[in-house]
Amino acid sequence: MPKGYWVSVYRTISDPEKLAAYNKLARPAVEAGGGRVLVRGGRVVAYDAGIAERTVLIEFDSFEQAVAARESAAYQEALDALSDGVERDFRIVEGID
């Protein structure tokens, strides 16, 4: 079964306090949903139309598990805390089997 991945690239961080509140709630929500953080921040080199901002990559055992974690009540609470504190490109993608 192909794995599922959350890919999140932050375009701007306008409110670091909201991001910190989100991080405090998101981490346990992701872990409870079976997610494993592979990349969080760190160095970035962007090409083409990419933006060299904070990037997060989280792995799940399946695409369905990744979607369920995103839709969980615990993660929704984290999103409420984040609110308009960042602009990011967030997607869930299916890995190659």
- Which CATH code is given to the segment(s) 4-94? 3.30.70.100
pLDDT for 64 equals 98
pLDDT for 46 equals 87
Residues contacting residue 50 through CB under 8 Å, at least 6 positions apart: 9
- 4 neighbors 97 (Cβ within 8 angstroms): no
pLDDT for 61 equals 98
Residue 93: name the closest of 29, 27, 9, 11 by CA. Answer: 9
pTM of the full structure: 0.91
- 59 neighbors 8 (Cβ within 8 angstroms): no
- 87 neighbors 15 (Cβ within 8 angstroms): no
Residues of the chain with pLDDT under 50: none
